[in-house]
Structure 1
C-alpha cells in the first residue's frame, strides 16, 4: 500500500519557508514570538486581534462529520476534487482537507489534476502557502500510474481533528504573536481503507499535522503540511 512521500526541502528558499511555517518550530515556546513575527514579514495586520479564549483556547475538536464543500472543480477525467468548505473553524477545515487528501479513485482522476485540486485549498497569502508540502503527500506520477493500473481507490473515515496542547500552551504564553499570521497547528487522525482490482484490500490508521490559517472574518485556508505529527 502506498505511503505518503517524505517531505524534502529543495533549495535554501524552500528550507527557509519550511523553517518559518514548520510546526516543529511553532511548538517551541521560546522561539514562538520571533517566528510568527518573521512569518508576518515584520509587517502590521489590520485585522482585529481576538483574545486567546475566543480563538485558540476554545477551538472545538472536529469529528468525521466535517465535510468539504459540495462545490467541486472538474478534472479532465470528468471526476471532481472537492473544494474547501466555507468555515472559520480550523479543526473542521483540517478534517475536511484530510478527507479529500486521503479519499480518491486513481482510475478516474490524474495525479496532476488531483494535486491541482488540493492546491485550491492553499491560502492566497503566498508568504505562507507551501504548495510543495501538499504535493509531497500525493504519490508521484509514476506511482500514481501504477495505482491506476491496479485500480486502486482510497477512502478516509473516522476522521478527528484537534489543536495540540503544546501549541495551545505556546499561544497562551505569547497570544500577541499569533495575530500576525493567525495560523493554527491542527493534528488530524483517520482510518484509511484501500481497495484494488481482484478483491485486494488494506487499511491503516494515519495522522497528519496541518498549518491552517483562519483570519477573523475569513474562511480558513491551508498554509502547510507539517513534516512532523504533533499529539
Structure 2
C-alpha cells in the first residue's frame, strides 16, 4: 500500500480532486467510486488500463489501424458535454509512439483541461497515458492506437439528480459523461493488430460562456 503523502503539492492535488468530485457528483451517492474519489488522500489515482507493449498485449483479433496520425490532439470547440466527452475519450484511447513523445502527448492532453485549476485533475489524465519507460519500449516497436467511439451519455444517477435539483450543476457546470468504444492497437510486423472494448466516465466542464473542457477522468465507470 502506498504511504500517505506529506508533500504540500500532494495536499493541493487532493484538494483539487475533492473539489472535482464534489462539483460533478454532489448528492450522487449511487455513482460507483464516489466515496473513494472524495476521500482519497495523497495516494496515486486509480489507473485505467494502459496500453501494453506488443510483446505482451492481450488483445482480440481486429484489423490494424492504418492511419499514421502525426498531429497531437486538439480539443473541439463545443458547448455540448456529451460531444466533448466522446471526443476526449477517443483522444485518451489514442496515441502514436512514431509521431511524438510521451511528454508531448501529456502536454497536449493537459491542453484539454479546464483553466479553472480547482476543478482540473491532471493526475487522472496522466494515469491513462503509458509511463515514459513503457512508452520507450512501445516506440521501439512502432506501436500506435486509434479509437472508435460507440456512444456517450449522462450516467443514470447523474440524470436523476439533475431532474431532482436542476441547480446542482450550476456552481461549476461540471457534468459526468460515460463513453464506450473500442481501442485498436497495432505495431511493426502485425498486419492484423488487435482491439479492446473501452468504457470510461469523464468529468466535463461546460460553462455557458466558454467551450467545454475536461475536468478529469473518474476512477470508476458510472453506468
**2:88 aligns with one of 97, 110, 115:** 97
Partner of 1:116: helix, strand, or coil? helix
Please give the per-residue CA displacement for 1:37-91, whole angstroms capped at 9, x wherever unaligned. xxxxxxxxxxxxxxxxxxxxxxxxxxxxxxxxxxxxxxxxx93212111111001
The yes-or-no answer on 1:109 pairing with 2:100 is: yes
Going from structure 1 to structure 2, the CA distance change for 1:224 and 1:86 (only over 3 Å counts) comes to same
Going from structure 1 to structure 2, the CA distance change for 1:24 and 1:150 (only over 3 Å counts) comes to farther
Please give the per-residue CA displacement for 1:151-209, whole angstroms capped at 9, x wherever unaligned. 11101014321111110111222222310001100001111111111216221101111
TM-score (norm 1): 0.71
**What is the 5 A alignment of 1:118-197?**
118-197=109-188
**What is the 5 A alignment of 1:1-231?**
11-22=10-21, 26=25, 28-29=27-28, 79-199=70-190, 201-231=193-223
8 Å Cα contact 1:189-1:205 kept in structure 2: yes
Q: How many Å apart are 1:229 and its aligned residue?
A: 0.7
- Listed as ranges, the gaps of 5+ residues in structure 2 are 31-68
* Distance of 1:29 and 1:138 partners within structure 2: 28
Q: How many Å apart are 1:9 and its aligned residue?
A: 9.1
Q: How many Å apart are 1:23 and its aligned residue?
A: 7.3
TM-score (norm 2): 0.73
8 Å Cα contact 2:17-2:120 kept in structure 1: no
* Distance of 1:9 and 1:154 partners within structure 2: 35
Aligned residues: 181
Report the aligned-residue RMSD.
Answer: 2.9
8 Å Cα contact 2:74-2:112 kept in structure 1: yes
8 Å Cα contact 1:182-1:215 kept in structure 2: yes
- Listed as ranges, the gaps of 5+ residues in structure 1 are 1-7, 32-77
